A and B are shown apart, each in its own frame.
Chain A
Amino acid sequence: MEYIQISIDGILYGSSYSLIALGFSLVFGVMRRINLAYGSSLLLGIAAALWVENKLNFSIIFFIPTVLIFCSLSNLYVERVCFAPHNTKAGVVVSMISSFAIWMQLDEISAQLLPDRTHSFPSLEVSTFEFGELFFRGDQILNIFIAFIISAILFLAVYKTKYGIILRAVSNSADTAKLMGCNTNLVNSLTFIVAGVIGGIAAFLVLSTESQVTPLFGFWCTLKGLVAMMIGGLGSLVGAFWGGLLLGLLEAHLSYQFGPVFREITTFSILLIVLIIRPGGLMGVNIYKDLKSRDERI
């Protein structure tokens, strides 16, 4: 019974990783770029929304759209500054370093907006409930539900709609797509905006379960999202969802067995082993084989 409870806790906690990994996966899938500033841009979106909320003092119904707007704006800023100027093949490394530089900038702006070390965050009033001997946290169930819905919508949008075809065309070969008349710059910007909206939802849900914001949230997001994405599969939306849940499950069990300090060590060891044995993640192998980027020099 104990193990079942731990598994449930782990999976429910992992749903927040899934949500963040989805945004990462979208950007990686379309642009083949790693956005190191993703977590920080979410933190900035949250910080800006909290700052506006402090000034205007409005209810949570208006707060959520504000978070989403600011998250997508900060993501768009990152895209314009770091990714748009370097969208050639040689620019992969340069854009990563640029996104690192912008990471520090965004963290600093967030620190200016939220001067306290910890800042309370409006939490959704959802109670816990019991099922036999098992406990469930209502807000975490909401998380996993929303993560599932978002990944389903994204999956349908990418594989069943006309916009999805454009997205996949740009992802497959940006140059060919450009020759066929796709506006690749616009597609890239829109991808970042969508990733910002998803990230905003993720950040809101994660922070409302923890009911506080710390300046470390940005780094936490980047790291966990990246690890969950890599475990699940590069650029695979379904993989990102399962990768997050798997990461949550493993972390919960390993930290229960070996103590909380081993939580992070095991996370990274799993990541390293997965990368060495199946570079491209557990579910992304097929996608990865198609990818020309495998042999592309970075």
Chain B
Amino acid sequence: MEFYLGILQTIGFHTLLGLSAYLLLLTGQLSMAQVGFFAIGAYASGILTVIYGLHIFLALGVGAVTASFFAFLVGFPALRIKGLMLVIATIAFSEIVRLYFFNLRWRIEKGGVEVGPDGAQGFREIRYFAANGWEPYQIVSFIWIVVILVIAALWWLDRVKVGSVLRAVGEDELAAQSSGVNLTIVKVSAMTGGGFIAGIAGGLYAHSTTYVDHNSFTILLATFAVAYPILGGLKNVFGTLFAVVFIQGILIEGLRFLGDYRNLLFGLLIIIVMNFYPKGLINIPIFNFSRRTKKGDT
């Protein structure tokens, strides 16, 4: 049972991370900075609950706001650079964040034990859930409530004008600008929103694993974060969810019995899906719940 709850937790964080990249991809920005915001959220909320003893909700909120503030700052230079250059620039940002936390040492005495981030040793004492008697199923339901709220918010965003504006910028910047869309506001707010979601995901991750270190926030995770929405498709939010379940649930956990050979098959399966459905899993007919059934309609 614990094992399945663990998988559910992992799927939860990865869905949030994927959704934060999804929001940016709608505006046509491919950002690898999500893992940087994730790390900022994780460390910030961890420090708030451990060192300052704040309540979890408050700590998560402040962590997410901190992450979204950094995302806001990243958003401005990101206006100047596009496409593959943005990918490299955001990789650089994520690595700077990771290396900052790699060097961060902030140990204080608390109740006779030393707590706080300890450089390369990582941040070990994030035991808010255990200290306050949360059961594993409560933690999982808390994470999933957040996931569902975020999915609902993004779903709603697609139903209102904001969603069309975001997609218009993603489809053709020049045309959107000519129709009176302010590119700066749209792009920077998409980046900020993405940073907020990634920050919440980071806070949840830090508290449910009780331990974070710089190795949790590598480029690998950043690439996973962008891989989900692309593999799932940008048609709607559920594409990302499908992709996370496909990769984390089926490919990573389901192929565990293969042992070392899992990674061989894992890469190949992603490639096969990409070859057959370059526009995403959501376009596979079994996932098609829309009224229109015309082929090639995306």
Tell me if A265 and B100 are in contact (CB < 8 A): yes
> How does the 8 Å CB contact mask read for B73-114 relative to A, with 1 for contact and 0 for none?
000010011111111110111011001101100000000000
Q: Which of B77, B80, B171, B270 contacts A98 (CB 8 A)?
A: B270
| Residues in A whose Cβ lies below 8 Å from that of B278 | 85-86, 90-91, 94
| Residues in B whose Cβ lies below 8 Å from that of A97 | 223, 226-227, 230-231, 270, 274
Tell me if B223 and A275 are in contact (CB < 8 A): no
Within 8 A of A (CB), among B41-92: 77, 80-89, 91-92
| Residues in A whose Cβ lies below 8 Å from that of B219 | 219, 223
Tell me if B85 and A280 are in contact (CB < 8 A): yes
> How does the 8 Å CB contact mask read for B171-184 relative to A, with 1 for contact and 0 for none?
11100000000000
With A97-B223, A275-B88, A279-B85: A269-B96 Cβ-Cβ less than 8 Å:
yes
| Residues in A whose Cβ lies below 8 Å from that of B160 | none
CB distance from A86 to the nearest CB of B (A): 6
Which residue on A lies nearest to B269, using beta carbons? A101
Q: Is A179 an interface residue (CB 8 A)?
A: no
| Residues in B whose Cβ lies below 8 Å from that of A107 | 263
Q: Is B136 an interface residue (CB 8 A)?
A: no
Q: Which of A102, A276, A293, A297 contacts B170 (CB 8 A)?
A: A297
With A272-B96, A275-B88: A298-B83 Cβ-Cβ less than 8 Å:
yes
| Residues in A whose Cβ lies below 8 Å from that of B83 | 92, 293-294, 296-298
With A104-B267, A265-B100: A226-B77 Cβ-Cβ less than 8 Å:
no
Which residue on A lies nearest to B93, using beta carbons? A272
Q: Which of A85, A111, A227, A234 contacts B275 (CB 8 A)?
A: A85
| Residues in A whose Cβ lies below 8 Å from that of B84 | 32, 34, 92, 96, 293, 298
Tell me if B271 and A275 are in contact (CB < 8 A): no
CB distance from A112 to the nearest CB of B (A): 7
| Residues in B whose Cβ lies below 8 Å from that of A100 | 223, 227
Which residue on B lies nearest to A28, using beta carbons? B84
Query: In the complex the two chains form, what is the Cα distance from A157 to B253 in whole Å?
Result: 49
With A92-B83, A297-B172: A272-B28 Cβ-Cβ less than 8 Å:
no
Q: Is A109 an interface residue (CB 8 A)?
A: yes
Q: Which of B102, B103, B271 contacts A81 (CB 8 A)?
A: B271
With A86-B274, A105-B268, A230-B88: A112-B260 Cβ-Cβ less than 8 Å:
yes
How many B residues have CB within 8 A of the partner chain? Answer: 44
| Residues in B whose Cβ lies below 8 Å from that of A265 | 96, 99-100, 103
Within 8 A of A (CB), among B117-148: none
Q: Is A271 an interface residue (CB 8 A)?
A: yes
Query: In the complex the two chains form, what is the Cα distance from A91 to B268 in whole Å?
Result: 18
Which residue on A lies nearest to B224, using beta carbons? A100
Q: Is B30 an interface residue (CB 8 A)?
A: yes
The majority secondary structure among interface residues of chain B is helix
> How does the 8 Å CB contact mask read for B214-241 relative to A, with 1 for contact and 0 for none?
0000010001001100110000000000
Q: Which of A32, A104, A111, A275 contacts B92 (CB 8 A)?
A: A275
Q: Is B264 an interface residue (CB 8 A)?
A: yes
| Residues in B whose Cβ lies below 8 Å from that of A4 | none
| Residues in A whose Cβ lies below 8 Å from that of B96 | 265, 268-269, 272
With A97-B227, A279-B80: A104-B266 Cβ-Cβ less than 8 Å:
yes
CB distance from A103 to the nearest CB of B (A): 8
Which residue on A lies nearest to B74, using beta carbons? A272
> How does the 8 Å CB contact mask read for B245-275 relative to A, with 1 for contact and 0 for none?
0000000000000001101101110110011
A85, A86, A272 pick with most chain B CB within 10 angstroms = A272
Query: In the complex the two chains form, what is the Cα distance from A97 to B273 in whole Å?
Result: 12
Tell me if B271 and A101 are in contact (CB < 8 A): yes
Query: In the complex the two chains form, what is the Cα distance from A94 to B260 in whole Å?
Result: 26
| Residues in B whose Cβ lies below 8 Å from that of A280 | 85
> Which residues on B are within 8 Å of A, measured CB to CB?
28, 30, 77, 80-89, 91-93, 95-96, 99-100, 102-103, 170-173, 219, 223, 226-227, 230-231, 260-261, 263-264, 266-268, 270-271, 274-275, 278
Listed by A's residue number, 7 A-B pairs whose Cβ atoms lie within 8 Å are A97-B230, A108-B260, A112-B260, A265-B100, A298-B82, A298-B83, A298-B87
